[in-house]
Amino acid sequence: MWSALEKMPAPATTYERIVYKNPSEHHYMKVCLEFQDRGVGLNAAQFKQLLISALKDLFGEVDAALPLDILTYEEKTLSAILRICSSGLVKLWSSLTLLGSYKGKKCAFRVIQVSPFLLALSGNSRELVLD
Amino acid sequence: MVRFKHRYLLCEVVSDDPRCRLSLEDRVLGGLIRDTIARVHGTFGAASCSIGFAVRYLNAYTGIVLLRCRKEFYQLVCSALPFITYLENKGHRYPCFLNTLHVGGTIRTCQKFLIRYNRRQLLILLQNCTDEGEREAIQKSVTRSCLLEERSDEEELSDNGGEEAAEAME
């Protein structure tokens, strides 16, 4: 039986393994800020100031200087799309989780979607309405 | 196998003001470093570095400080040291900076490095000194440290390094 296996010809196909590590340097987050009371408004600059102060509280001045960008911001719904470099994603997310208040008013960040590709944030299967 | 590993940072306090080194105290310096880590690395840095943090050795005459921190977080401490710009004691503020000389895993390796470093510093001082009386004093220390070095080379196999190390560190 072993001699029969040895006489079998080698397979003609060669296998090639491609490892695709995430090449995207940025991660994109869709977040929404919720306040306990209604009627609190922030403009884009105040929103960014809030994010940076959250990072500074937890991780200090070094990580408050991470290259963070707000790509879109809606003042009515207080939702935004943020861009952060991939090494800083965990730090930003954890500092958003631990942010409790803005100027004495209680608030919380809801993270709706996170993706290394911006195109993925355009459609969200959770908000899909099936007829 | 199962023990807490530390990193020992050997630093030198460099300052223009000669009174700065004399006002060094371990508690003041420890508090200053903790505040700097809290400012630079936030709550996370302050909490993670302060568990195993201690000022192990302080020499006010030469300005040498030996700090201990946990191995997992020693990079946070190392990166926060350049942000220390002044030393405050009894209301007086002295501008200074901390120069990291050596990072070691045990106190013994830091001590060995410090002995070699001090010998080299004595030779540099000998070249740079201007006063005759100072020159004689430094030359005497250099010859004494050379004799101790020869004696330690002979007794290398025996574990008697403690005595001569304590003498050379003066």
Q: How far is A115 from chain B (nearest CA, A)?
A: 26
Angle at B67 between CA B61 and CA B69, to 5 degrees: 175
Q: Does residue B108 contact residue B16 with C-beta atoms inside 8 Å?
A: no
Measured between CB atoms, does B47 come within 8 Å of chain A?
Answer: no
CATH of B1-105, one of 1.20.1090.10, 3.50.50.60, 3.30.70.3250, 1.10.10.10: 3.30.70.3250
Evaluate if residue A10 carries a pLDDT over 70: no
- List beta partners, residue B94: B87
A99 neighbourhood in chain B, CB within 8 Å: none
Query: Against a cut of 0.80, is the pTM above it?
Result: no
Q: Which residue intervals of chain B bear CATH 3.30.70.3250? A: 1-105
Superfamily of domain A24-120: Ribonuclease P, Pop5 subunit (3.30.70.3250)
Domain-by-domain residue ranges, chain A? 24-120
With H, G, I as helix, E, B as strand and everything else as coil, classify residue B51. coil
The ipTM estimated for the assembled molecules is: 0.73
Distance CA A79, CA A31 (A): 6
pLDDT score of B167: 41
Evaluate if residue A4 carries a pLDDT over 60: no
Distance CA B84, CA A17 (A): 50
A63 neighbourhood in chain B, CB within 8 Å: 41-42
The 8-class DSSP code of residue A38 comes to S
Cβ-defined contact of B38 to A58 (cutoff 8 Å) = no
B41 neighbourhood in chain A, CB within 8 Å: 59-60, 62-63
Q: Provide the CA B42 distance to its chain's centre, in angstroms.
A: 26
A69-108 pLDDT, tens digit each: 999 999 998 999 999 998 899 999 999 999 988 888 999 9
Cβ-defined contact of A58 to B40 (cutoff 8 Å) = no
